[in-house]
């Protein structure tokens, strides 16, 4: 079950899942109360949009026909914690790609439940690998950039409501490398005109993730810059399928009360 339709990320995930022979899709998707339509069609398939008031009845019907199933959540930051509580209550293992919410409470909700989940601010395995490299550097070379100044600029489509979860996750590694910086200092770019000036292709203004991390020495003579620019949503959808397959393996193994990351998926642990 892919929740978050008619959102673009959920739509892209459904396109990938429907093209994969090892999945069967639920014809329903949880949506927000502000959505004023009752269904959406993707690849000639119709998906009913279920508002919050109808979730209980819908889940009961799906479970009656399907039994156990997995959930993918690409909804809205404001719905993160409530959705996780619902999934845990109904014992629905899930992949959470939605950012925002109270992340500590989110993980604790799963750990106190009978299910497991893959929770990640970024589903792109290559970026996860980059983050793992930064984590290693932060541990092995703690304080190596002490005194350096940091600037983080992240650009996403205008409809992204919150600061990039990937950018916020990177702050911790830079802190461990000796740089004083807080997530509130991250520069969010959501204006299409500014994004055009940055070089974001016109066709990807509605779906992209451009991140640049710039470090400068105290005297200004040394500069380091790390950049990862993603156009479109395909890489995230492909990673979501990997997360689903990993999650099913863990469900089959009988795991309960555990939270996995995309690093775990990448390593296959």
Catalytic residues: 156, 160
CB atoms within 10 A of CB 15: 14
Report how far Cα 67 is from the mean position of its chain's Cα atoms.
Answer: 26
Going by C-beta distance under 8 Å and a sequence separation of 6 or more, which residues neighbour residue 265?
118, 120, 125, 128, 239, 242, 243, 246
Q: CA 28, CA 135: separation in Å to the nearest integer? A: 38
Question: What strands, in cross-sheet order, belong to the sheet with 45-50?
Answer: 28-30, 45-50, 39-42
Query: Hey, what are 23's tokens?
Result: 């999945």
Q: CA 195, CA 200: separation in Å to the nearest integer? A: 6
Q: CA 230, CA 211: separation in Å to the nearest integer? A: 9
Report how far Cα 159 is from the mean position of its chain's Cα atoms.
Answer: 15
Report how far Cα 40 is from the mean position of its chain's Cα atoms.
Answer: 22
- In the chain, the N- to C-terminal Cα span, in Å, equals 24
Cα dihedral: 23, 27, 32, 33 (round 10):
-170
Query: Hey, what are 175's tokens?
Result: 């802190």
Q: CA 222, CA 146: separation in Å to the nearest integer? A: 13
């Amino acid at each position: 079950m892919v929740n978050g339709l008619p959102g673009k990320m959920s739509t892209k995930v459904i396109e990938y899942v429907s093209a994969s022979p090892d999945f069967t899709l639920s014809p329903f998707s949880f949506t927000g109360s502000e959505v004023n339509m009752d269904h959406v069609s993707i690849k000639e398939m119709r998906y009913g949009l279920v508002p919050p008031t109808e979730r209980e009845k819908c889940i009961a019907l799906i479970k009656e026909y399907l039994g156990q199933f997995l959930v993918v959540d690409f909804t809205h930051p404001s719905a993160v914690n409530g959705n996780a509580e619902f999934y845990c209550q109904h014992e629905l293992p899930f992949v959470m790609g939605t950012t925002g919410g109270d992340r500590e409470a989110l993980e604790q909700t799963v750990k106190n439940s009978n299910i497991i989940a893959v929770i990640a601010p970024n589903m792109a395995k290559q970026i996860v690998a980059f983050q793992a490299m930064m984590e290693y550097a932060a541990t092995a070379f703690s304080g190596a950039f002490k005194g350096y100044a940091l600037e983080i600029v992240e650009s996403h489509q205008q409809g992204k409501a919150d600061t990039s979860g990937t950018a916020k996750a990177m702050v911790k590694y830079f802190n461990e490398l000796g740089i004083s910086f807080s997530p509130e200092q991250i520069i969010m770019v959501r204006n299409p005109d500014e994004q055009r000036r940055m070089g974001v292709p016109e066709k990807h203004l509605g779906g992209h993730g451009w991140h640049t991390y710039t470090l400068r020495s105290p005297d200004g003579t040394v500069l380091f810059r790390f950049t990862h620019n993603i156009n479109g949503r395909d890489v995230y959808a492909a990673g979501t399928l990997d997360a689903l397959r990993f999650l099913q393996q863990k469900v089959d193994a009988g795991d309960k009360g555990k939270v996995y990351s995309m690093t775990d998926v990448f390593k296959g642990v």
